[in-house]
Amino acid sequence: MSIQGIKNKGFFLILLLALSCSTAQLGVNISLPERGGTFVDVVKENYRWSVAGSGGELTANQVDNHGWPTVDARYVLDYRPVAEWANSIDDPEAYRIDVSGTYTCAFTGQATMKVIAGCRIENETYDPGSNLTTFNLIVSGPVGPGHGLIIFEFTQTKRSGSSPVGSGFTNFRMIRPGYTLNTTKTFTDKFIAALTGIKFSVVRFMCFTGTNGREPTYPDSTTWQQRKLPTDASQVKIASINKQGGAAWEYVIELSNLTKMDPWINIPLSVTDEYVKNVAKLFKDRLDPSLTLYVESSNEVWNTAPAFNQSLYNQAEAQALGINEHNNHARRSVELAQLFESVYGAGSLNNQVRVILCSHKPMLKWWVEPMLQYVESNFGPPKNYFNAIACQTYFSGGEEAGDPVSTILDKCHSSITQQVDEAGQTNEAGRKQWIASAKKWQLAGGFCSYEGGPDHGGGSTTNIGNRIQAERHERMAREWYYNLDDCFFKLGANIAAQFTLSSAYTRYGCWGLTDDITKPNRNPKYAAAKKLADSLHANPISIPMQNQIKSNEILLYHNHLSNTLSLQLNLTKPNTIQLSLVNLQGKRIRKYKTKTLQAGTHRVNWDLRTGSIPLTNGVYTCLILLGNKTLVEKIFVTK
């Protein structure tokens, strides 16, 4: 350990080289929509249009290029609990979200509005000068049986004053109660409050961007021109215009920048190289440079369930290339790393961009190890492409009829404990074995979990009442905490992304930390996540030192007169340098602009006085990234 101290005029700086360290970051998967709302404009998160009168689904020749109806149309919103429409509710509490209030609505064109169910319409006005129709849609309270089913129709439609009757309309907006029609807010305050109420470091956007089930039949591809646009009729699937995915990448970036949380994105299998490069350029140009971008190839390409057609695409592509399906998953992941690096620049991998190789938890030695061996044989060391390997951290129990809540929770605890160490068992895929594999392959980000939490889904109604009650029990919060604290982070694992922030509690799963984004603390799991995140942030930041900078490559010293850090770099080949300063709460408060340097000797000066957050007395971490190598300096500042 080397220590350098400099003292002048009351300013004392100690640089302390950190020899070994590990990270622990809590992340979350977000849905679209969250239960209780994501977007201020409801239309962005709901696309249930049908033909007015008949209720038949809109076809391709009944919508325009953005998905707006070109005929008279019916709009349906259904927030009722599962499965009230079949005269049965899974949830023994029969909890339902409150959607009452006055929605301010507008669209381009004319129509006669007709209420079918669950609302009333007032103050309908058409302005011929702007060709804009506005109206108020009122959903009454109190919350009770049937509340949340809202149906209304646009009849006698005209896109413009000269258009024929029945020609449809465009740009329909349905702004939530509490916001004006001209609001500049994209996301609801309640959603942002629930998301930022827990100190998540990473947000995984797999559900938000609609990764599952969006692939065409191989060898068809998806082009950049087919991507979802912010101007499309909704940010969920629009099958009629062949936009099978979810939200536009622009909204991923906007939310990441707003919350200051690192985005974890999933790139569909069928997209072209041009598509990938354009995604990379979009994030490079628009994402807050202090944030890190995590990249994953699709989602669960091993999963053969009907909703996961990406597995079929992967299998067909593998067969065409003459390799097996898991090696094709590895090949595609390497390809994504190469494409992103071609845009971000040499040395960006494991720095600004971090590719995660994901697989099914039991498949460590059946898929993951062979994939890493395949990459090493065909592309070189996997650590040059992948930051980490990842699987799920789900736990479950209580599917048997008659199991009381206490037994369900006992089984959940056992389910967690049994996943820690599987040495000598058939799969040998315990969390300790995953961690050991990541260490063996020298992956800087180690072992991560792309999804996790209590798994009580599957679609069966067996014991559903007790399964849901167990999810709301205070002890479930303790089991959730045990799963990630004792049985993940304390073992030496890295990122764990909870699945999900919110959801309804039904036979199809009780995935959310809460079942109402507007009242997140009604479920104890939310408080448990907040407690764990606070605990992780309370400790000084630490990062894996799998690939350390050599002592002859860099010299660092402090100029006490100008209050700058100076680095002398001795490079044998071109490389990138990136500097960050992090406080004890794990918040990055300074970032030096990434530079690409040629071979030779260089000096980099960094003025620590610049920045929106002032430096105060205390310990900071200076993170130095040189290509894919890492150095950490602990800095103690007093004045």
> Which tens digit of pLDDT belongs to each residue from 61-85?
999 999 999 999 999 999 999 999 9
User: What type of residue sits at position 489?
Assistant: F
Above 60 in pLDDT, residue 13? Answer: no
Phi/psi at 387 (5° precision): -85, -30
Average pLDDT value for residue range 296-307: 96
d(CA 355, CA 348): 11
pLDDT-derived band at 463, boundaries 50, 70, 90 = very high
- Give the architecture-level CATH label for domain 25-31+189-538: Alpha-Beta Barrel (3.20)
pLDDT-derived band at 378, boundaries 50, 70, 90 = very high
pLDDT-derived band at 544, boundaries 50, 70, 90 = very low
Above 80 in pLDDT, residue 159? Answer: yes
- Residue 18's pLDDT is what? 33
pLDDT-derived band at 617, boundaries 50, 70, 90 = low
Stretch among 107-121, 381-395, 488-502, 601-615 having the lowest mean pLDDT: 601-615
Average pLDDT value for residue range 267-278: 98
Residue 12 or 221, more confident: 221
- Residue 337's pLDDT is what? 98
- DSSP state, residue 176: P
Tell whether pTM > 0.75: yes
Three-state DSSP class for residue 615:
coil
pLDDT-derived band at 575, boundaries 50, 70, 90 = confident
Tokens encoding 401: 């009829």
3-20+547-638 CATH choice from 3.40.50.300, 1.10.510.10, 2.60.40.2560, 3.40.710.10: 2.60.40.2560
Name the packing angle between helices 273-286 and 249-259 (round to 10°): 30
Closest-CA residue to 294 (of 242, 211, 351): 351
Q: Do the domains spanning 3-20+547-638 and 25-31+189-538 agree at the CATH topology level?
A: no
Indicate the domain borders of the chain. Answer: 3-20+547-638, 25-31+189-538, 42-175
- Residue 584's pLDDT is what? 62
d(CA 466, CA 90): 10
Above 80 in pLDDT, residue 551? Answer: no
| Average pLDDT score over the chain | 90
- Residue 35's pLDDT is what? 98
- Residue 400's pLDDT is what? 84
pLDDT-derived band at 634, boundaries 50, 70, 90 = low
pLDDT-derived band at 558, boundaries 50, 70, 90 = low
- Residue 501's pLDDT is what? 98
- Residue 363's pLDDT is what? 97
Average pLDDT value for residue range 12-36: 68
Helix then strand count (H, E) for the chain reads: 11, 25
d(CA 205, CA 242): 21
pLDDT-derived band at 565, boundaries 50, 70, 90 = confident
Above 70 in pLDDT, residue 205? Answer: yes
User: What type of residue sits at position 610?
Assistant: T
379 burial level (CB within 10 Å; 0-12, 13-18, 19+):
middle
Q: Are 489 and 27 in contact (CB under 8 A)?
A: no
Above 70 in pLDDT, residue 559? Answer: no
pLDDT in tens, 215-226: 999 999 999 999
pLDDT-derived band at 305, boundaries 50, 70, 90 = very high
pLDDT-derived band at 103, boundaries 50, 70, 90 = very high
- Residue 579's pLDDT is what? 84
Average pLDDT value for residue range 519-533: 97
Average pLDDT value for residue range 599-624: 76
Average pLDDT value for residue range 534-561: 60
- Residue 630's pLDDT is what? 72
Above 60 in pLDDT, residue 385? Answer: yes
